[in-house]
Structure 1
């Protein structure tokens, strides 16, 4: 983010102070700002033809301060059903949280004062993404769960090396960060000017797919993609509003590249996914998303997923899913991520890199584990995660995004004192198919800074208890017990 963009984002964020007395939360503020910025940016980019006459930025600004809030609320309702498909999606089920006419008038005036010429020069997409990141970093907003740190996204995209031939999917799209980063990579490492007309058409209409089930976050994603020059509401492609763990997720096209950070925890109410194609249905969302990803890849397709530690070691259905993954795919690399890089400081995460095999069995022969967790800084507000922290991993990973035999043969096993080690499929099986493999003594001291919020600790404890209960149910099922309990539920 440039200094100019940073300054504009800071000014937009300070406008939140105008809404505090109106009882508007941080998340509601970003939603409200998205509506207003869409109208303003459509004017700045010359794309107002997608908005009906009478409901544009100048129309809103021309109203008297006393009537502006009334007209604004009518505008939100009208745009839900009129305008381009993108307009109707962004304003779908829209409503304003603003109660005072003076508050809206102050927002409109301050937004109009911003240096929009510089904003256009720097890139409106970077400006909006900066605003989303600001919201994600604000603990009170609760938005961090929808925002993956950009350095991690960029590192995952760099080793996966998207191409113009790829069909790229994020089944838990959030605000669209993975798809936007993949688009940047394609344009920076390809030759867009040399693409054929068919390739240009494919890039716009048949390359980027995603799904997001929270409507406000879906709004943010559509806005984000649009401002980064991606067609976010074309025929078929783009980020769809829906539940990946329902039949809507089954309708996503099979991909050649999946990049995602699925939601952690269990499905609401402890229910099972409603889609019918998962071999191992479970209330654990990350296990369901993992199945979606390896089943949703075309043969030879590749994936990189952020997943919490419990996915690596949980027994019963967890072990069955890992075994199925290693049968159907070549799980060639696991990256153990540092702690403290997500909104919930205590969450320990990993990235799984795998390639879908041409057959259904015995595709994983060896798995390389890179430990970027032990003896790393305590990341938080004082120590920011940067792309440089991933440089050694990217170099060790190599230039083959598929993790093929040739590139694996050139990797160096650094032994018990290094960060990168090789484990055969037989060694993993001897561990009970557990991938929670650590060998380095972690001497990094926990200074107590950036400790998790009590609510985060409580949620983590609940998730662990729910996982333990599910494992016990699996044991009872194997013993032929517990049927009565299931009937009662």
Structure 2
């Protein structure tokens, strides 16, 4: 059967744009100033950003009667990128000494002014490409992408997500801001976001949670312009690091959000300084950074008894505070956070007293490979009443496998049994089985608020474990001991 015209158009666009991106990457590989994808992807991203922004400006010029260009004519993409005579050293000088400094200086006191977005995106951006001739070749490839075409935009969004998956395996800090797409999709769906609700990711990285929430809320719906603009405004994020911030902005623009509501800021500093009901949100979806330490000025801004430099606990504390009454949250936490003592214990107690921690989904080892083999957990809670009981659900890999790896990642379909067991937004008709069990708040409190609870419905004999599995569990146990010792040390230092 022949493909439909729309399907054929999408296939043609994917083939054409895949060739464009491949050529662009081949050009960048020839340049002596670029070393690896962590150099090449940011360069490709900000060029795509300028190309896409120019298309948005051309559209805005048509319907906005008060249109004023955000960028001066000489720095607009359609001016310098179309000038084939601008190449070699002259192009390098223009980019490095004029264009990037100009874009990074843009700002406005007017809310919603696109110059604020441009200034934030390009603050700290550098061009590491040394050949102006190769840069011209790269620009000419980017010019082949039509950001006024819905087919090109849709296809570029798909291709860009593929690039983001590749960068997770690059050297450096890339693993700090990547959450597997199946995990993101499951967390978004089981939080049941609705149109009109404010949705925040305070550690948004490359924007995966916000893009998935946008997809969930717009799929099979035709929104009017007022509804669209409200949704764009309601999707909020904070990101501290410049590279994931740039990648996030490009990711959201490619997915149809022309003015992403993302702040390039230290989320903890920003949130702790916010006050009042207006700063609270309906839904939080996040995988915050763990294992890091904040500077003293941030720790000291928190209330007495909750002051710590441990990033994990500060984020969890602020997430609890940031929710509106009846607000909902889905958050990724490593095992160490579940059994943490000291200030960690206090924050878990606060969570259980102020929120209904209704579900903890326990993931097996390797879901976050290659960054760590340590198992992680998905916590779902609502800020409506204290916790009475916590349901646990253990995800198990298919077949005889005991975990996942970079080459054998978790698939979304493997959450289907948990989703069916969930019982919808009201969590109706849940029952205990080989995967699911529940623990009363009295038992949790009696166990000193330890949430690192194993499935009582299964046995796991040592005789059936491989040496690799036993070694991984030994590492987990050692990290658990180290975490407890670190908590004790921090508590002693705070006195």
Does TM, scored on the shorter chain, surpass 0.5? yes
1:53 correspondence with 2:73: yes
1:413 correspondence with 2:432: yes
State the SS of the aligned residue for 1:266: coil
- Relative to 1, partners in 2 of residues 1:324 and 1:211: Cα closer, same or farther, differing over 3 Å? same
State the SS of the aligned residue for 2:324: strand
Q: How does 1:212-231 map to 2 (within 5 A)?
A: 212-231=239-258
State the SS of the aligned residue for 2:73: coil
* Distance in structure 1 (CA, Å) of the matches to 2:468 and 2:133: 43
- Checking the alignment, whether the CA contact within 8 Å between 1:77 and 1:94 is kept in structure 2 is no
State the SS of the aligned residue for 1:423: strand
1:76 correspondence with 2:100: yes
Q: How does 1:418-457 map to 2 (within 5 A)?
A: 418-439=434-455, 440-442=458-460
Quote the residue 1:28 is aligned against: 39
Quote the residue 1:149 is aligned against: 180
* Equivalent in 273, 282, 287 of residue 308 of structure 2: 282
* Distance in structure 2 (CA, Å) of the matches to 1:386 and 1:10: 27
What stretches of structure 1 move > 3 A for 4+ residues in a row? Answer: 1-16, 42-51, 109-119, 121-124, 247-250, 268-272, 274-279, 373-378, 440-449, 460-467
Quote the residue 1:232 is aligned against: 259
* Distance in structure 1 (CA, Å) of the matches to 2:392 and 2:300: 34
1:366 correspondence with 2:389: yes
- Relative to 1, partners in 2 of residues 1:139 and 1:25: Cα closer, same or farther, differing over 3 Å? closer
* Equivalent in 209, 234, 244 of residue 267 of structure 2: 244
What is the deviation of 1:171? 0.8
Residues 174-214 of structure 1: per-residue CA shift (max 9 Å, x gap):
11111111111111265525x8x4x4442232x11111111
- Relative to 1, partners in 2 of residues 1:86 and 1:56: Cα closer, same or farther, differing over 3 Å? same
Residues 112-161 of structure 1: per-residue CA shift (max 9 Å, x gap):
4568769616343333333222211x232531211111111111111111
* Equivalent in 398, 418, 425 of residue 393 of structure 1: 418
- Relative to 1, partners in 2 of residues 1:225 and 1:113: Cα closer, same or farther, differing over 3 Å? closer
- Relative to 1, partners in 2 of residues 1:106 and 1:120: Cα closer, same or farther, differing over 3 Å? same
What is the deviation of 1:349? 0.9
Answer with 107-116 or 25-34: which moved more: 107-116
* Distance in structure 1 (CA, Å) of the matches to 2:460 and 2:145: 48
What is the deviation of 1:423? 1.1
TM-score by length of 1: 0.81
- Checking the alignment, whether the CA contact within 8 Å between 1:265 and 1:285 is kept in structure 2 is yes
* Distance in structure 1 (CA, Å) of the matches to 2:76 and 2:211: 27
Gaps of 5+ in 2: 1-9, 61-68, 107-113
- Checking the alignment, whether the CA contact within 8 Å between 2:28 and 2:134 is kept in structure 1 is no
CA RMSD of aligned residues (A): 3.4
- Relative to 1, partners in 2 of residues 1:331 and 1:274: Cα closer, same or farther, differing over 3 Å? same
Quote the residue 1:291 is aligned against: 317
- Checking the alignment, whether the CA contact within 8 Å between 2:336 and 2:480 is kept in structure 1 is no
1:349 correspondence with 2:376: yes
* Distance in structure 2 (CA, Å) of the matches to 1:91 and 1:31: 11
What is the deviation of 1:9? 5.2
1:173 correspondence with 2:198: no
* Distance in structure 2 (CA, Å) of the matches to 1:316 and 1:33: 45
- Checking the alignment, whether the CA contact within 8 Å between 2:356 and 2:383 is kept in structure 1 is yes
TM-score by length of 2: 0.80
State the SS of the aligned residue for 2:120: helix
- Checking the alignment, whether the CA contact within 8 Å between 1:339 and 1:379 is kept in structure 2 is yes
- Checking the alignment, whether the CA contact within 8 Å between 1:338 and 1:376 is kept in structure 2 is no
Quote the residue 1:204 is aligned against: 232
What is the deviation of 1:81? 2.3
- Relative to 1, partners in 2 of residues 1:432 and 1:243: Cα closer, same or farther, differing over 3 Å? same
The count of corresponding residues between Structure 1 and Structure 2 is 450
